[in-house]
Amino acid sequence: MSLIEKLRSSTLLARLRRDQGGAILTELALSVPIFLTLLTGVTEVGNYMLMNLKLQHTVVSIADLVTRDETISEDVIDDIFKAVPQILNPFPTGDKSLTIVSSISQTEDVVASVFWQRSGGGSLDADSALGAEGDPVNLPAGLTLRDNETILATEVYYRYEPLVFDFIPTKTIRKVSYFRPRIGALQEIEP
């Protein structure tokens, strides 16, 4: 490399060091992807938190509706399950959700077990964590039953799929609520 070429390259480097044009665009180009990632992350977390709040509201509302009367029939419970999509709105139900109501009771002869169980409010493939009709139930600590007393357990399952981040796995969320009937025992469901 000749002396003239060295001077030209050092002059060019000196000019580039002094030139501040485009510095803001460079900083912006480096920071915009970081800000967009943070914004989508906040959106994803907010959506997940809203889903959990909606599920908690759904499980409590359904349990409250089921325990209001002295008796309950198949038609009434079907109508109650029709409320699930409205409560979970704007989140879709269908094959993403399932609501299960279980009547847990005991008598002198029968330990705490599921006396009856109905599901609706969606078609998600999920089984009750409490068991099926006739199965004995292990109640949570601190929740006790006396003979001929009933607890209605409501479970809501929802398959959550992330909005933006596809690398986050799909997760089935479960919320449960235990209510005692206000009147009567609700140990059986009328046809």
> What's the CA gap between 134 and 126, in Å, rounded?
18
Decide if 72 contacts 186 (C-beta within 8 A): yes
Which residue in this structure is represented by tokens 């002059």? 11
Residue 188 backbone zone (phi > 0: left; psi -120 to 50: alpha; other: beta):
beta
Which residue in this structure is represented by tokens 């099926």? 132
Question: In the chain, what are the domain boundaries?
Answer: 3-179
Q: Predicted confidence band at 190 (pLDDT cuts at 50, 70, 90)?
A: confident
Structure tokens of 25? 């665009």
Q: Predicted confidence band at 186 (pLDDT cuts at 50, 70, 90)?
A: confident
pLDDT exceeds cutoff 90 at 106: no
pLDDT for position 185:
76
**Could you report the per-residue pLDDT of 58-101, keeping only the tens digit for each?**
999 999 999 988 888 999 999 999 999 999 999 999 999 999 99
Question: In this structure, is the dihedral angle defined by the CA atoms of residues 34, 37, 38 and 39, taken in order, positive or negative?
Answer: positive
User: Which whole-number Å values give the CA distances from 31 to 27, 28, 35, 38, 42, in the listed order?
Assistant: 6, 5, 6, 11, 17
Burial class (CB in 10 A: 0-12, 13-18, 19+), 155: buried
pLDDT for position 184:
75
- Interstrand relation of 113-120 and 171-179 (parallel, antiparallel or unpaired): unpaired
Q: Which of 16-20, 46-50, 141-145 has the lowest mean pLDDT?
A: 16-20
